[in-house]
Structure 1
């Protein structure tokens, strides 16, 4: 026999003695003991009287194990789930968690720093436009041929003021003095160095002519325009980044508002360049 149900099935009311309960109990106990320990309450109830079967099963030495109860998955509420059809509260929470702060991604302060650097370089370039007043920095960009190499003049000579309108250039190696003189004369600064001692030169700084002033004014304008071009290049790069950006919760209105911030900074920088160029132009023209 394969299981206790089959064995128990041979016991019917015809086999039982209604007047001798003890004998009936012994019979059922014997059958159950010979079977596998998997007889169930349902089978016993269908083959023998309910009360008798219960008593027999309770008295049986074979352990009786209840059949495991089947569990059913609880249906989730789609409206409150966090899936595709999540509730309004969950959707709002997800949207807030994924929202992008454009002011962090596109830092207008960093762009302003870039523009300020371009303006600073412009002003530094103008410092080399000299108008009759001597300054040691006038010769910073003069390049000298020295030992088969080209080096800045300050690396091979000491430059100082002899007076308000004259520079003094001291060359430690007197054999190199001639090369320094040639470099200053051909620098395009309209300077005419003259020997002072064996290893020094004096360099008079002439008063600017009207022609020189006009030339310097044009150079001021050119440097200013080049700087504005660099500023516009920075602007174009940032605006392109903003337009191409795709972030959660970022609308076209958000992008437009950010672009306006950047445009305002660029506009301010352009105005600053124009104002500085106007002041410098008046200076070189002697107005």
Structure 2
């Protein structure tokens, strides 16, 4: 192997890992019938004239498997946080109890579970597309290196390396999707 070639497998691996990390964050935001503090990550409330994530307005806890509590630090923000949760589309009805907002997590019905598995599959497909785009960039690097004088043996070896990384990343996405779908469908 020549040291002067521009094929950076570490960069390709890092970018594929980034797609997987993004997928895991999207999966964490899916409601599965169990309480999770991460389900509130995308919700923002109007605080002091700007949109602020709820986890920056209070302490988010999961005291029970079907309950999330938010201890809002500024008492004047309680109604705004409650309104943001109601309007978020999570399908959760917040209950205000003094400075604490309780979020009882209802059971998911079969139809909603199937809908969530389809959403999870869409997230996984976006991750696969991102990984394939990284693969394409890697193959383009190899073509440029071939034009600059890389031997066909080296080109084949690098192509196989990039394909191996891609196959591992896609398998990882498929495994994560299967686990998430099982978690969603679990009653």
Structure 1 length-normalised TM:
0.60
Local SS of the residue matching 2:29: coil
Count of matched residue positions in the alignment of Structure 1 and Structure 2: 186
Alignment of 1:1-287 (within 5 A): 100-101=2-3, 105-197=6-98, 199-245=99-145, 246-248=147-149, 250-286=150-186
> Whose RCO is larger (CA < 8 A, sep 6+)?
2
Taking the aligned partners of 2:66 and 2:47, their CA distance within structure 1 comes to 28
Deviation at 1:193, TM superposition (A): 0.3
- Distance change in 2, residues 1:280/1:136 (3 Å): closer
Structure number with bigger Rg: 1
Deviation at 1:235, TM superposition (A): 0.8
Any gaps of 5 or more consecutive residues in structure 2?
none
Deviation at 1:162, TM superposition (A): 4.2
Taking the aligned partners of 2:168 and 2:11, their CA distance within structure 1 comes to 15
Taking the aligned partners of 1:124 and 1:270, their CA distance within structure 2 comes to 17
Taking the aligned partners of 1:274 and 1:172, their CA distance within structure 2 comes to 41
Local SS of the residue matching 2:30: coil
CA RMSD of aligned residues (A): 2.0
CA contact (8 A) 1:100 1:247 kept: no
Which is strand-richer, 1 or 2? 2
CA contact (8 A) 1:168 1:200 kept: yes
Moved over 6 A (4+): none
Any gaps of 5 or more consecutive residues in structure 1?
1-98
Q: Deviations over 1:100-136 (max 9, x none)?
A: 336x631323312221221122122211223222223
Which is helix-richer, 1 or 2? 2
Deviation at 1:168, TM superposition (A): 2.0
